[in-house]
Amino acid sequence: MRLRLRWLRRRRKTGVLLHWTMRTGYRAVTLKWSIVSVELGGTTLGSLGSPQFCDSRFIGLPPGSHDLGLRVIRGRRSRGTYCEQTVDLAPGDIFLALCEPVQPDVFYRKSPVEDTWQLRLVTSDEGAGVSAHDVKD
């Protein structure tokens, strides 16, 4: 994800970089899958949901203020979670939304007890390194 963020910053892209970490075993696919998505005004901008990969997706947005919805949907009739975050993007800013969803009944590594979101705003005026300002943890 660092390489992708660096690539986006060099090209002065503005938007949201959505990333998720799924705790799956190396040999078996779990049926406790989750879909992580970003919404704007009730419309899904992008989602991630493959149970086999840790993945990231960039969603381009115009500069300005955006009320983003961050949603986790679970399979097998489990409930998901939803939270909202207002983000003010300047040209070249990237909002990082990193999610680690809950996976009940996994025995190979401990899953968090609730969906964990790490939200950060990487501004365009920062140096060449990848540093970030905390928006919400």
- Rounded Cα gap, residues 97 and 120, in angstroms: 7
DSSP notation for 78-111:
---EEEEEEEEEPTT-EEEEEEE---TT--SSPP
Segment holding 5, helix H or strand E? helix 2-10
The residues of the chain scoring below 50 in pLDDT are 127-137
Could you tell me the pTM of the whole model? Answer: 0.76
Name all domains of the chain by residue range, CATH numbers in brackets: 2-136 (2.60.40)
- pLDDT digits over 102-133, tens only? 765 555 556 666 788 889 999 987 644 444 44
